[in-house]
C-alpha cells in the first residue's frame, strides 16, 4: 500500500512540475523524501536537542550546535519565506565561512 502511495505522489509531482500556474507563472512540485532517505538520520536526538535544557549531554550536540548556528547566521526567516543571506559571514566578522 505504501509503495502505491509513493508512486501516485511521484506521478502527481511529474504532472504539475513546470506547468503553467493560476497566475500565469510556472509551478514547481517537490516530493518529500522517504523517512529512510532523510538527511538527519538521528531525528530522535535532534528532537531532544531542541526540546531539552541539557543540550550538552545529548549525543551529537557539537554537530547540531554547528548546523544551528550556521542557519541562524545565514538564513533570514519571515512569515512565509526563508532566504539565504548572501555574504552573511563577511558582514559579521569580515571573513568568509
State the pLDDT at residue 30: 87
Distance CA 72, CA 85 (A): 10
Best CA proximity match to 6, nearest among 45, 42, 33: 33
Whole-prediction pTM: 0.47
54/19 Cα distance (integer angstroms): 48
Residue ranges of alpha helices (H) inside the chain are: 2-16, 43-51, 61-74, 88-93
Q: Which residue has the cell 523517512?
A: 35
One pLDDT digit (tens) per residue for the chain, 97 residues: 777 888 898 999 999 888 888 888 888 888 887 777 776 677 778 788 888 777 888 888 888 888 888 888 888 888 888 787 777 666 666 666 6
Is residue 45 within 8 A of residue 54, CB to CB? The reply is no
- Sorted by sequence, the CB contacts under 8 Å of residue 50 that are 6+ apart come out as none
Write out pLDDT tens, residues 27-54.
888 888 777 777 667 777 878 888 877 7
Q: Supply the pLDDT for residue 88.
A: 66
The whole-angstrom distance between residue 1's C-alpha and the CA centroid of its chain comes to 27
Amino acid at each position: 500500500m505504501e509503495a502505491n502511495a509513493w508512486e501516485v505522489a511521484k506521478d502527481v509531482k511529474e504532472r504539475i512540475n513546470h506547468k503553467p500556474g493560476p497566475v500565469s507563472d510556472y509551478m514547481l512540485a517537490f516530493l518529500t523524501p522517504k523517512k529512510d532517505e532523510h538527511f538527519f538520520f538521528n531525528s530522535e536526538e535532534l528532537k531532544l536537542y531542541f526540546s531539552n535544557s541539557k543540550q550538552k549531554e545529548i549525543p551529537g550536540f557539537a554537530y547540531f550546535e554547528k548546523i544551528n548556528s550556521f542557519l541562524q547566521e545565514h538564513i533570514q526567516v519571515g512569515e512565509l519565506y526563508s532566504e539565504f543571506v548572501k555574504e552573511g559571514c563577511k558582514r559579521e566578522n569580515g571573513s568568509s565561512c
